[in-house]
Amino acid sequence: MKKYPKILISPGDPSGIGYDILFDLTKKKFLAHIVIVASYDKLKERSELLRKKINLIKIDIKQDNLPPKLKKNELLIHDIPSRKKVDIGSPSIKHAPMIIESLNLCIEYCISKEYDAMVTGPVQKNILLEYGEKFSGHTEYIATKTGGTPIMMLHSKNLKIALLTTHVPLKKVPNLITGERIKNYVEIISSDLNEKFGIKKPRINVCGLNPHAGEEGYIGKEEKEIISPAIKDLKKRGYNVFGPYSADTIFARDDADLILAMYHDQALPVIKTLGFGSIVNTTLGLPIVRTSVDHGTAIDIAGTNKADSSSLIAAIQASINIVKSKNV
């Protein structure tokens, strides 16, 4: 019997579109066992609200009782019981325990290798912070549980970008840019692109921090004093890395397997403009496989049947592809 990858989904905040987009999974035939870790009752309520004819099947991931094959319009659910009423479009701290439990279960069963990958839906970070969790984002939270050096990579059909810094205030970015950090990230990215995406000796183009990559130090010295020496050292050790390039032209080049940006809003506006809805967020540098959607909770359209599931479907397929690539 052919063994398919086993994928867990943590759908995020129930007040947003994370629950809405799950029902479209029945329209796609994935070569994988997919289990949603969420409240059965809340999913049932949402399916009825959206008039989705979905058969939700309870299973227990702790007992590994996956059915060999699903019928049309069936979804597997590991139930996290919750009696808290969901006010669609109004995120609430009362749902934080359920969201965190879903995440933690997915992480636990991926660490134990009982499941092969996890896919995450959107959350309201402020709700989890208010609840008391140190949550600047999924990427950082998962790394506190798994260890490793988490690197956020977003990828579409024609572009891959990774971030040297993620969810930090812009004024703190320059102090986080160090030669050691750049070298460590390039090493991890090169290894993961090889292992998880089958890209042998990937070419990585590195963004500068300042306008025009510093203009030889006249508009900032980070490129000359930190970024360029790190790239030079990496080249000596055989890494296929180039730059620093000015951020206003680097995305127009077509010679890189991945672009390493210095901060969040240097790269995300570009890739989201070019491919919003089909972008996948994959965390590199972790001992588990984790992918995610490229959008937020979109509370303004939650419960209206207007949400687009394309990114979720792409994230699930990406996780399946990575698992298969790792097992080759």
pLDDT digits (tens, 9 = 90+) for 143-165: 999 999 999 999 998 899 999 99
Per-residue model confidence (pLDDT) at position 327:
66
What CATH superfamily is the domain 151-278?
A: Isopropylmalate Dehydrogenase (3.40.718.10)
Residue 310's φ and ψ, nearest 5 degrees, are -55, -45
- Gyration radius of the chain over CA positions: 20
Instruction: Give the span between the Cα atoms of 187 and 158, in whole angstroms.
Output: 22
Instruction: Give the span between the Cα atoms of 53 and 47, in whole angstroms.
Output: 7
Helix, coil or strand: residue 311? helix
| Residue type for position 328 | V
Annotated domain spans of the chain: 1-148+286-328, 151-278
Per-residue model confidence (pLDDT) at position 1:
39
Per-residue model confidence (pLDDT) at position 232:
98
* H runs (alpha helix) in the chain: 40-49, 96-111, 125-131, 138-146, 173-176, 179-197, 222, 228-236, 264-275, 310-327
Q: Indicate if 151-278 has the same CATH topology as 1-148+286-328.
A: yes
283: β partners: 152
- Topology (CATH level 3) of domain 1-148+286-328: Isopropylmalate Dehydrogenase (3.40.718)
DSSP 188: H
Instruction: Give the span between the Cα atoms of 152 and 306, in whole angstroms.
Output: 28
7: β partners: 34, 117
Describe the strand order of the beta sheet including 280-284 as a list of residue ranges: 55-59, 74-79, 33-38, 6-10, 117-120, 289-292, 280-284, 151-155, 160-163, 258-261, 204-207, 241-245
Start-to-end CA distance of the chain, whole Å, equals 18
DSSP 88: T
CA–CA distances in Å: residue 48 to residues 213, 261, 304: 54, 43, 12
The pLDDT tens digits along the chain (328 residues) read 358 899 999 999 999 999 999 999 998 889 899 999 999 999 999 999 999 999 999 999 887 768 767 778 899 999 999 989 999 999 999 999 999 999 999 999 999 999 999 999 999 888 888 888 877 778 888 999 999 999 999 999 889 999 999 989 999 999 999 999 999 999 999 999 999 999 999 999 999 999 999 888 899 999 999 999 999 999 999 999 999 999 999 999 999 999 999 999 999 999 999 888 789 999 999 999 999 998 999 999 999 999 999 999 999 999 999 999 876 5
What residues have CB less than 8 Å from 233, skipping those under 6 apart? 179, 183
Helix, coil or strand: residue 292? strand
